[in-house]
Amino acid sequence: MTERLETRFEALKKEGRAGLVTFITAGDPNPETSLEILNGLPGAGADIIELGMPFSDPMADGPAIQLSSQRALNNGASMIRTLDMVNSFRERDDATPIILMGYFNPIYRYGPQRFLDDAISIGVDGLIIVDLPPEEDDELCHACLTAGLNWIRLTTPASDNNRISSVLRNSSGFVYHVAITGITGTRSAEIGELEATVKRIRTQTSLPIAVGFGVRSQSQVRDIGRFADAVVVGSALVNTVKSALEKKLTKRQIASKVHDFVTELATGLR
């Protein structure tokens, strides 16, 4: 298993704080700007990076992430380019864990084994493939774990204890708890309920628990960081890209807008 995730979570534990997981879509709004955003994330305060692999039909995502995928695809995003991006990032940062997140079809077309081989060799640390539930573990999960990549899954407010235990089987790295019933970037969770659910999941696993969906402000990050091991912010970041684009900012300016926002969020955990 690649060790960056484990090392990072151990370090966070020593520091006595939760980590910030930032989601951006690879190639959004274009390859150059996206790479500039990616490269600056650790410096801005991101502890773990989730990089979205764009897909035309992201059925579990809300409008913000759909649009970011669309912008990326309109500007030439592809699986090869996403992997290239990780490759250039790794040349300057060998410590920050990178998780690729997306849907199965682009991987299926690329070739699952070829994808795993390439992902390992360029320094990817784990995968979240939204539309591969435990019922479809033969598709990629087993091969992924065998190859030494982390397989990260989602739990939801609707997962009962039985379901949580099926989800945890063959999970590694961390558990991604979806705070709300719904899609990314919509409602926000009620904090008390969320804390109770995270406690319930903890009784079933020793893996770190990250919480995401609907998290968009420093105060939410701070509140969730009190009981979760990591907090994920996605839609709010790609929305920052969108509004920076609408203001016709330059590549450098767009990247700084995103980095400033990440720093603001990260401060909530320090």
Helical spans, DSSP H, in 156-190: 161-168
User: Which one among 17, 84, 110, 218 touches other proteins, defined by CB under 8 A?
Assistant: 110
Distances (CA, A) of 240 to 18, 21, 252: 23, 16, 14
Using an 8 Å Cβ cutoff, are 212 and 176 in contact?
yes
Residues 117-146 that bind other proteins (CB under 8 A): 130-133, 135-136
Residue 78 in the binding site for other proteins (CB under 8 A): yes
Minimum separation from the CB atom of position 250 to other proteins (A): 28
Rule CB under 8 A: is residue 51 a binding residue for other proteins? Answer: no
Closest separation between CB of residue 183 and other proteins, Å?
A: 5
Count of chain residues binding other proteins (CB under 8 A): 43
Catalytic member of 47, 61, 125, 229: 61
d(CA 196, CA 269): 20
- Output phi, psi for 68, to 5 deg: -65, -40
Q: How far is CA 71 from CA 52, 64, 92, 169, 232, in A?
A: 13, 11, 26, 36, 22
Q: Is 61 a catalytic residue?
A: yes
Write phi, then psi, for 73 (nearest 5 degrees): -65, -40
CB of residue 106 to other proteins, shortest distance in Å = 4
d(CA 198, CA 214): 16
161 binds other proteins (CB under 8 A): no
Decide: is 171 part of the binding site for other proteins (CB under 8 A): no
With binding defined as CB under 8 A, does residue 181 bind other proteins?
Answer: yes
Of these residues, 10, 28, 47, 50, which one is catalytic? 50
Q: At what angle do helices 63-74 and 235-246 cross, to 10 degrees?
A: 60
| 59 binding other proteins? (CB under 8 A) | yes
- Check binding of 186 to other proteins (CB under 8 A): yes
Structural contact between residues 17 and 235, judged by C-beta atoms closer than 8 angstroms:
no
Nearer to other proteins, 89 or 103 (CB): 103
- Residue 95 gets which letter from DSSP? S
What residues act catalytically?
Answer: 50, 61
Residues that bind other proteins (CB under 8 A): 54-60, 62-63, 66, 70, 73, 78-79, 103-110, 130-133, 135-136, 153-156, 158-160, 163, 167, 178, 181-183, 186-187
